[in-house]
Amino acid sequence: MVNSTGQLSVVENMSDETVRPYEGTIIWSSSDDSIVSVDKNGRLTLNSKETSTVTATVENGKTAQCAVTAFDLYGLEIDPSPVSSLPVGTTVQLHAYAIATDGTRTDVTDQAQWFSNKEDIATVTAEVLVTLKKQGKARITAEYGFSAFCSISVPNASSPYIQSIGITGADTISVGKTEQMSVAVHWSSGSTETADRTKVTWSVSDTTIGSIDSSGYFTGNKAGRVTLTASYNGLTVTKTVTVADDTKLFQTPAGAGTIYKKTDTDSSGAQAVRYWIYPDPYNPNYVVMPENDGSKWVEITELLNGQ
């Protein structure tokens, strides 16, 4: 944002893939002070909505540069944050999002500067993978104009920790219907709880087939299969969901193929629900045939008896 200020810093990428703040002398400069000016401490001021290159020169003569452009930035967020109750040895992927004044979130993970205040507890790599090293508390910092923090809490060996997570909810959802999906948190103690929905991030592989909102409500849009992905507390899990057209796909007993539902009229003229079996429509060789061309009609009781 024009007339706003921000703090720049220099970090070192170590041979063991960790990142730590540079503690020596830094000389700062800008390619155009009328656009972006920077003082001797790395504090920059945005003067116009254009781009300028800021250069940091360290004691051994090496330099690092970054392009700085002023836009209407409101703040910076790290996701997930905080991270807690995960055992030593766990690796967590963090992301940074720039928040504009209109609420738009832009992923700036690769552009932000990252470092840990306690690398003996939690380290962060250039790919922003955080590894939990030992019991204790640490803070991961991301800097991109603004600063954002992620608190890390690693339990001791005797304390319960999150062992895994899973997605709970229907495996098959009808077109036009909405179902609640949740994340189950499995603890080392053997207990299971439902994750706080406000702390779960959802995504779906194909939004034309199904969509999911921030609260985990999944809606079937058209027939097909999608992969749901849920992230919670640095852990990620997936689930395959089938979106079915109720006028066609009903259920699939083992070896029966795909069962199509139809309201039919029996020999006496009374209305009856019957089912048409045909091979799996997700098979690439599947061809839709007329309902009375080579199909087999059976009563639902026969299907349930495995006939």
Q: What is the CA radius of gyration of the chain?
A: 28
| C-alpha torsion sign, points 222, 223, 224, 230 | positive
Q: Please, which pLDDT band fits residue 2 given cuts at 50, 70 and 90?
A: low
Record the tokens describing residue 205, joined without a space. Answer: 């592989």
User: Can you give the pLDDT at residue 181?
Assistant: 97
What are the φ/ψ torsions at residue 8 (nearest 5 degrees)?
Answer: -100, 155
Measured from the Cβ of residue 164, the count of other Cβ atoms closer than 10 Å reads: 12
% of the chain surpassing 70 pLDDT: 78
Residues 290-307: what's their mean pLDDT?
Answer: 41
**Cα–Cα distance between 21 and 114 in angstroms, integer?**
9
Placement of tokens 């932000």 in the chain:
112
pLDDT of residue 268 exceeding 80, the answer is no
Q: Please, which pLDDT band fits residue 189 given cuts at 50, 70 and 90?
A: very high
Q: Is the pTM of this model over 0.85?
A: no
Contact 140, 130 (CB under 8 A): yes
**Cα–Cα distance between 183 and 232 in angstroms, integer?**
8
User: Can you give the pLDDT at residue 30?
Assistant: 94
Record the tokens describing residue 143, joined without a space. Answer: 């800097």
pLDDT of residue 281 exceeding 50, the answer is no
One DSSP character per residue, 165-178 reads EEEES-SEEEBT-E
Return the higher-pLDDT residue of 307 and 205.
205
pLDDT digits over 11-35, tens only? 888 888 788 888 889 999 999 999 9
Burial class (CB in 10 A: 0-12, 13-18, 19+), 46: buried
User: Can you give the pLDDT at residue 81?
Assistant: 92
